[in-house]
Structure formats: structure tokens, C-alpha cells
Amino acid sequence: MQQHINILIDRLNDAFRGKTWYGISFIDKVNDIDWTIVNKTPFESANSIAKLVKHCMNWRYFAIEKLNGNATFDIELNTPQDWTEITITSQKDWTDLVTELKRTQQGITTILSTKNDAFLDKTVPGKPYNFLYLIEGVIQHDVYHLGQIAIVEKLSR
């Protein structure tokens, strides 16, 4: 049975590119941003939009690796693997980053679509939590950073 998996895929897709009750979806917001401001940090402790997007992608890669059963892949918090420095120098660079972000979404949903509901209760390889927690975490993580992206964009214009 795939009832819960299908609900999670819908939630992932809604947050990423669907209609949300809290406003604009992640990809619609990112697509709406002018590449010329994605490196700006409006105040000292802020991350740039590009760095926030890359950070979200890093954790999506983590999810993909874990969904594929990779027990050895990990990301240590507050390291370059978690918060990768990135500088966008052209519209093409920005488009490429956004395209890769879209690929991570497709990767997660494609893998999930091959699983059944029982899979969600399985422990994530190398972690003390299950796949349901992981996927809900990806959704929450994206929504959290979407808010930061919106603030940084507004302050950078």
C-alpha cells in the first residue's frame, strides 16, 4: 500500500511547487528572484539566497543518499558540506543551480514512489530516526529556509 507515501509526495510537491496555505511555493519564490541579488547579504549574520538554496540542496542530497540506502553518507552540521560557499556570477549560474534544485525534488519523489508505506517506519541507515521523520524534515527545512530567502530577497532589493 502507498497511501501514506502518496500523501508525503503530495506534501513535498505542494511545498516545492504547489499551492500552499502560507503563500508562495519554494520553487516559485526562487524562480522569481533576480540573479543579480542572490549573492547579497543584507546584514552581517545573514546568508545569501544562493547559499540558502545550496544549503537546502545539500540536505536534499542527504535525503536521496539515505533513501538509496547509503549508511555512510552524512553531513556534519555547520561545515562546508552543510553550508557550502557559493557565488553566482551569471544568469546561467543561477539557472543551473535552480535546475539542480528541481532535480533533487524529482529525485526524492521518484525514489519515494517506488516504496510502500511500511518503508516509512524503517530506520534511516546510520541514523536514529525513520524515513517518515526524514521526509517530513525535508519539507519543514525547505519551508523554514523559504522564509529566510523571502526576507533576504526583500532586504536585498
- Per-residue model confidence as pLDDT tens digits over 45-84: 889 999 999 999 999 999 999 999 999 999 999 999 999 9
Please tell me the distance from the alpha carbon of residue 103 to that of residue 36, in angstroms, as a whole number.
Answer: 23
In tens, the pLDDT along 110-149 reads 999 999 999 999 999 999 999 999 999 999 999 999 999 9
User: CA dist 145 to 45, 58, 61, 152, Å?
Assistant: 15, 13, 16, 10
Please tell me the distance from the alpha carbon of residue 69 to that of residue 29, in angstroms, as a whole number.
Answer: 32
Give the sign of the dihedral formed by CA 23, CA 24, CA 26, CA 32. Answer: negative
Q: What is the reported pLDDT for 44?
A: 86
Please tell me the distance from the alpha carbon of residue 81 to that of residue 72, in angstroms, as a whole number.
Answer: 14
Give which of 59, 74, 71, 48 is closest to 105, Cα–Cα.
59
Residues near 30 by Cβ (< 8 Å), separated by ≥ 6? 49, 53, 98, 101, 149
**If pLDDT is split at 50, 70 and 90, which confidence band does 42 have?**
very high
Please tell me the distance from the alpha carbon of residue 127 to that of residue 131, in angstroms, as a whole number.
Answer: 10
pTM of the model as a whole: 0.96
Mean pLDDT for 24-28 is 96
Mean pLDDT for 79-103 is 98
